[in-house]
A and B are shown apart, each in its own frame.
Chain A
Amino acid sequence: MSDEAARQLEDFLQRVPYVRFLGMHAELSGDEMTAVLPFAPHLVGNTMIPALHGGVIGAFLEATALAQLSVTQGSAKVHKTIDVTIEYLRPGRAMTTYARAALRKVGRRIANVHVEAWQEARDTPIAFLRGHFLLSSN
């Protein structure tokens, strides 16, 4: 499982140009994936604080959900986002952000995914995402 999962994940991270634009990567322990977004100046939305752009946080959470689905579902195709709700709890500071996705339900066609993002400590999350995704079959 884990060699195949690692290959699926690497394939997703390498093939999607926008994932490279964000500078995102991921670590896999067994089937548990942690997405990592190193800080970069082009991700800033508020130069006064400075803080990550809200859209960047949302995009990172969405990409984490898609990456987790690519690991679990084993499809080379990118799954399609149906809807997402992003909740912002704290500003994203100028430091590395982490995210982990939980597949709450994976049906035949649709998956329900919850994602949380944190920076310094996992018990002080900066944002959550809940979303539905349409699964692509090979």
Chain B
Amino acid sequence: MAVDLDLIRQMGQHMATTVPQAAALGFRFVSVDRARGVLEVPWREDLVGDPDTGVIAGGVVTSLLDHVCGLAVSAAADTVPFGTATLDLRIDYMRAAAPRAGVTAEAHCYKVTRSVAFVRAQAWDADASDLIATAQGAFVINRA
């Protein structure tokens, strides 16, 4: 039996807004589905990584990708919700985001074992078919 989708949705909204770092960066909840999640971060002056161009910092994208991967892992819980911690995260930056552009990220948790969850994620600024970054991560699962 899988965890109820409404519960996953509530948890996703909670994760996107109440985690202090997510709130500080201004993350917005977009959607969740079974083993999937989407979050976005709007552009802000104090999140810029290159003052010459006004492009959002790679570190913000790192936090967004880590967070959306965690969301997808939580949304993949089979019976009872479980805690997660990042084991490793690999991020490829294909191109810089456009100046003054926010970023959207989508993650898919494609495999969950007893102890580990495997996730892929991607991020874009304007067009989901024109990516700025991809990520691949492994997360430890702490079952109650």
Contacts of A78 in B (CB 8 A): 49-52
CB distance from A58 to the nearest CB of B (A): 4
Asked whether, in the complex, the Cβ of A86 is within 8 Å of the Cβ of B20, the reply is no
Identify the closest chain A residue to B95 (Cβ). A80
Bound form: Cα–Cα A77–B23 in Å: 30
Q: Does B62 contact A (CB under 8 A)?
A: yes
Cβ–Cβ < 8 Å partners of B49 in chain A? 16-18, 78
**Number of A residues, CB within 8 Å of B:** 36
Q: A55-B59, A63-B59 are in contact. List 16 more A-B contacts (CB 8 A).
A: A16-B51, A16-B57, A17-B45, A17-B51, A17-B57, A21-B24, A42-B20, A44-B20, A45-B19, A52-B21, A58-B62, A84-B62, A85-B90, A86-B88, A86-B91, A88-B87
B interface list, Cβ under 8 A from A: 19-24, 45-52, 56-60, 62-67, 70, 85-93, 96
Chain A positions within 8 Å of B, measured between CB atoms, are 15-18, 20-22, 41-47, 52-56, 58-60, 62-63, 77-78, 80-88, 91
